[in-house]
Amino acid sequence: MPPAALKINVEQRRLLVETADHAGFIKAGDRVESFQLTEVGGAQLTLHELLRKGPLVLIFFRFAGCPACNIALPYYNRFLAPELERLGTTLVGISPQVPGRLKEIKERHGLDFLIASDASNALGRRFGILYTFDEPSRRASIASGNPIGEVTGTGTFELPMPATIVIGKDAVVRFADVSPDWLVRTEPAAVLAAVRSIATAPAA
């Protein structure tokens, strides 16, 4: 990355870390209301259907061309998805990018878990995990000739912060980790511990 572009990237991440509204992030204990996502193949995914067989893990990422996402998702495919499948847990990767463009990252890495589009960032907004490009990032995005709103198909400068959310069959959040710095992602061990704790929790 050219030094000027790297500086903009670093400063945007620093600003997000310093100003993120952690109190507004989704957290353990929150109840998740019904939502709908569009899987990259066109299927409609609802909360009710996703919870049918067991707990649900949602992983929010920025977009198919995000370099860090192209490291994180294959890593989750190798070290998280197989064990979640064994535990009867559904895993969904979520981005606001439109399905036709989002399909690329699933095919490129042969991801075995669902990849879905959060239209208009509706769920990300509800979970309090969105950020808007700062002015230097906005100018650089426009100057590139391919601004982020065109890349994602949303027409906006909003993206989700990377987030991992574990939801029990009762639609209550059991674990939530949101990272304002998009280079920092949740480790599989923390997700698996949260899912296993659901299975071993005493009945209410």
Domain positions in the chain are: 3-198
Containing 4, the helix (H) or strand (E) segment is helix 3-19
Q: What is the CATH number of domain 3-198?
A: 3.40.30.10
123-152: burial string, b at 16+ Cβ within 10 Å, e else: bbeebbbbbebeeebbebbeeeeebbbebb
Q: Which pLDDT belongs to residue 199?
A: 73
pTM: 0.95
Q: At 1, is the pLDDT very low, low, confident or very high (cuts 50, 70, 90)?
A: confident
Q: At 2, is the pLDDT very low, low, confident or very high (cuts 50, 70, 90)?
A: confident
The residue with tokens 């067989």 is 53
Is the pLDDT confidence value at 130 over 50?
A: yes
Strands (E), the chain: 36-39, 44-46, 56-60, 90-95, 114-117, 130-132, 158-160, 163-167, 173-178
Residue whose C-alpha is closest to residue 152's, from 130, 183, 122, 119 = 119
The answer to whether 65 and 102 are in contact (CB under 8 A) is no
pLDDT tens sequence across 148-189: 999 999 999 999 999 999 999 999 999 999 999 999 999 999
How many whole angstroms separate alpha carbon 26 and alpha carbon 98? Answer: 23
Q: Which pLDDT belongs to residue 202?
A: 53
How many whole angstroms separate alpha carbon 98 and alpha carbon 96? Answer: 6
Centroid of chain to Cα 25 = 13
pLDDT tens sequence across 131-153: 999 999 999 999 999 999 999 99
Is the pLDDT confidence value at 204 over 70?
A: no
pLDDT tens sequence across 53-94: 999 999 999 999 999 999 999 999 999 999 999 999 999 999
The answer to whether 135 and 172 are in contact (CB under 8 A) is no
Q: At 119, is the pLDDT very low, low, confident or very high (cuts 50, 70, 90)?
A: very high
pLDDT tens sequence across 7-37: 999 999 999 999 999 999 999 999 999 999 9
CB-based burial of residue 68 (10 Å sphere; 0-12 exposed, 13-18 middle, 19+ buried)? middle
Collapsed DSSP state (helix, strand, coil) of residue 131: strand
Please give the torsion angle defined by the CA atoms of residues 79, 84, 90 and 92, in that order, rounded to the nearest 10 degrees: -20
